[in-house]
Chain A
Amino acid sequence: MLGRTAHSLFWMFRYLERAENTARLLEAALRMALTRDLVTAEAEWRSVIATLGLQRAYEALHDGYDGVSVWNFVLRGPSNPGNVRQMFGAVRSNARTARINISGDVWEAVNENWMKLDALLVRPVGQMAVGEVLTAIRRAGTQVHGAFDGSMLRDEGYHFSRAGTFIERADSTARILDMKYFLLLPSLSYVGSSLDTGQWEQVLRSVAGARVYSWLNAGQIEARGIVEFVVLDDRFPRSLAFCRNALRDNLAALARMHGVEGRSNVLMRDADTRISHLCVDQIFEAGLHEFLIDFLNRNAAIAQAVAQDYRFHT
């Protein structure tokens, strides 16, 4: 496979994942804003922009944080180069570039969803439409992944695509946790207060884990449990541990197919030994924030090594 094609597959799935995660983040914020007072709501919208690293671009345009401004900026703001509409444009142009290495089913799922989303996002998204738009974005991801799972040859292209998915997903989960890490630090004064459980639930919602967490824990919401679930539970497909395991398998498969191990495999092993025997108390002891920053840096370094190992660029 061409290095450029591998690059396109990797980024096609990173952007797809990013669009989906962004939609989840907005959905969680939307729910929070609807059930809380104005001050909490504004803080919530502010934290969405902060999680996405868009403060400067956003504040250049707006004086305050309100739902309509935030979701329009994130979904389709022309001055936001990383808006969801453009992410989906990037998914499609990468899919076009890699057209001969994806199945017809995957291409059609991408193309149809792109047509639909582009039409939905061409005009400002109002209060009444935002729910539909966010659902459509999530559904686009689901459909592409479904077509991908059912029709793709398990060759190197498959593994580059999956590597892109899990690197992006891990990045997103870690960022969401880090934005709220102070809420999750065990602190006696906060435990049990209703605002707090609401905020914690918010974290779970952003990573699509609220329902399953609550089911596993009989409805008991507490910081330690959430961190254990989102970081270490390798049954939960958006946890850091799950993404790590999946990425490790994809990189191992690539090394096997190419008959040679690269820097990405070495970095992966390093990162693995850091996380595989950790328990949640150790994470809190060393500092949740520090742990997450270290995780994010290693994740980014692995992504860079993959690009180098497999000649994504000249």
Chain B
Amino acid sequence: MRGSMSAGSSNFDEMFDGSGQTRPAYDEYCRWYNEQPAEFLKRKNREADDSFRRTGITFNVYGEDAAEERLIPFDMVPRIITANEWRKVSRGIEQRVRALNSFLYDLYHRQEIVRAGRLPERLLRKNDAWLANMVGFTPPGGIYTHIVGIDLVRTGPDEFFVLEDNARTPSGVSYMLENRETMMGMFPDLFSRIAVESVSNYPRRLARSLAACVPPAFTGGKPTVAVLTPGIYNSAYFEHAFLADQMGAELVEGSDLRVVGGRVQMRTTLGYKPIDVLYRRVDDDYLDPLTFNPDSALGVPGIMDVYRAGGITIANAPGTGVADDKAIYSFMPEIVEFYTGEKPLLPNVQTWRCADKDSLAYVLDNLAELVVKEVHGSGGYGMLIGPTSSKREIAAFREKLVAKPDNYIAQPTLALSTCPIYTAKGLAPRHLDLRPFVLVSPDGIDITPGGLTRVALKKGSLVVNSSQGGGTKDTWVLKD
């Protein structure tokens, strides 16, 4: 396969260097790959799909028939990261997550960062995820972001950028785990030839991390942990069930819960039983119909009062979505420096805030080269990718941008790295990103070596989101 790849392309390829030589991280893998008969690889590729379908690793697509379930395509060529690269990346992530947590504490207390003039106050006032109920309240253990996903992109040998922070409810960790299980099932010999860091204890680490954050009302013994899901029609239900199962936690829905005697309790066959830590996969808005969206049937009436009185730990804490905002993101270098006193180890992608007049003028002049995103957007929706858009699309977006500049930020179109995927015609390079998963507890910050690699399956596409046809790869961090 040598030389058949990205030679001549301007993007950094993870597997091959500019002259078509295999990079050291992929040496052994490529040796193995070249030894496999083409028929064998073809058959394995088919089997992977069947195995995901059989085990029911599916997601539902919003807005489609409730019964519609889809597979996230899995690519069987792993994405490989060396021990050295990982050390650097994980140091940067740790610093960033530490800063995020301090930032959230500060926002809901004295707002020193605003007083110091390092963050404009209007960004908080205009932030939909800001929760007044959290002001002055400190969550158990002082932890806001129990689980964080940091989206990274790579543009060169030593160039990793943070593209997005997911401090609200990052998803995808079940794919990190199932992709590895699938790879080990399909190619056991690979793992005996290459020493890869294990990811399988993530659920244990998550359980331990959550149990370390018990609320003041915890009465001792083994903490009761439950995962709150919107139910079987939610797009990530498989993951909710998977994590609850692997952690030995209960999987609850709003209708199972009720506030009894100052605690949030679940209806068991023996009666009501208090929950100590609730890992909720339900958005803030739906958490408590008494406090937020009164129409929500997914939450628990009164849970916010119990929370503020120390009766339960909610992970992640309500109101952490403030930090996911893309306007806040543009301040992350300042935020990291303000709370850690250090320069950020992982750079941000350069970001123009369209709320600034000068920036807006620049963005409007250069729309065809930039990526423009909604401040509160997610899932790859509501964005413009200049270089791949038609004149008409750009013109239409320009109108939206001029009408509501506050609502947008712009970034240069990055030369995202590629890594080959398996296709019927052999290996072919595709763009990808990386989401490592980070656990935060009073005991420290715990980063599982690996993460979710999302890969665009269409040639040249920069959109890796599963809701828009992206796939995933197993992510290997090599042992030293």
Contact = CB atoms under 8 A, between A and B. Distances in A.
Given A2-B252, A4-B253, A99-B251, A258 B270 contact: yes
B55 A111 contact: yes
A96 B232 contact: yes
A112 B252 CA distance: 26
A311 B267 contact: yes
B182 to A, nearest CB: 14
A4 B255 contact: yes
Contact of A2 (B53, B232, B241, B250): B250
Contacts of B56: 96, 107-108, 111
B54 A156 contact: no
Contact of B256 (A4, A96, A108, A111): A4
A89 B231 CA distance: 16
Interface in A104-161: 104, 107-108, 111-112, 115, 156
B245 A2 contact: no
B267 A2 contact: yes
Given A96-B232, A97-B232, A100-B245, A311 B269 contact: yes
A3 B267 CA distance: 6
10 contacts: A2-B267, A3-B256, A89-B67, A96-B237, A97-B231, A107-B56, A108-B55, A314-B255, A314-B258, A314-B267
B54 A111 contact: yes
A100 B251 contact: yes
Given A96-B232, A100-B244, A100-B245, A1 B54 contact: no
Nearest to A100: B245
Contacts, number: 58
B271 interface: yes
Contacts of A111: 54-56
A83 to B, nearest CB: 15
Contacts of B253: 4
B55 A99 contact: no
Interface of B: 53-56, 67, 231-232, 237, 241, 244-245, 250-253, 255-256, 258, 266-271
Nearest to A108: B54
Contacts of B252: 2
Given A111-B54, A111-B55, A2 B244 contact: no
Interface in A56-96: 89, 93, 96
A5 B255 CA distance: 12
A6 interface: yes
Give the interface residue-count category, chain A.
20 to 34
Contacts of B268: 1-3, 311
Nearest to A114: B56
Residue of B67, B237, B270 most packed against chain A (CB within 10 A): B270
Nearest to A111: B56
B48 to A, nearest CB: 16
Given A2-B266, A100-B251, A108-B54, 7 more contacts: A2-B268, A3-B256, A3-B269, A89-B67, A96-B237, A104-B55, A156-B269
A153 B53 CA distance: 25
B396 to A, nearest CB: 40
A15 to B, nearest CB: 15
Interface of A: 1-6, 89, 93, 96-97, 99-100, 104, 107-108, 111-112, 115, 156, 258, 310-311, 314
Contact of B54 (A6, A93, A97, A112): A112
A100 B269 contact: no
B115 to A, nearest CB: 47
Interface of B is mostly: mixed
A286 B268 CA distance: 43
Contacts of A258: 269-270
A115 B69 CA distance: 12
A99 B241 contact: yes
Contacts of B67: 89
A49 B267 CA distance: 39
Contacts of A104: 55
Contacts of A311: 267-269, 271
A156 B269 CA distance: 9
Nearest to B226: A2
A97 B234 CA distance: 12
Nearest to B266: A2
A111 B67 CA distance: 14
Residue of A3, A99, A100 most packed against chain B (CB within 10 A): A100
A147 to B, nearest CB: 13
A267 to B, nearest CB: 18
Contacts of A99: 241, 245, 251
Nearest to B244: A100
Nearest to A94: B232
A310 B267 CA distance: 10
A1 B253 CA distance: 13
Nearest to B250: A2
A104 B232 CA distance: 17
A107 B54 CA distance: 9
A112 B51 CA distance: 10
A3 B252 CA distance: 10
A264 to B, nearest CB: 12
B237 A1 contact: no
Contacts of A100: 241, 244-245, 250-251
Contacts of B271: 311
A4 B237 contact: no
A104 B245 CA distance: 10
A101 to B, nearest CB: 9
Nearest to A8: B232
Q: 7 smallest A-B Cβ distances: which pairs?
A: A310-B269, A100-B245, A99-B241, A3-B267, A96-B232, A111-B56, A6-B269
A100 B231 CA distance: 13
Contacts of A1: 268-269
Nearest to B55: A108
B444 to A, nearest CB: 28
Contacts of A6: 269
A115 B232 contact: no
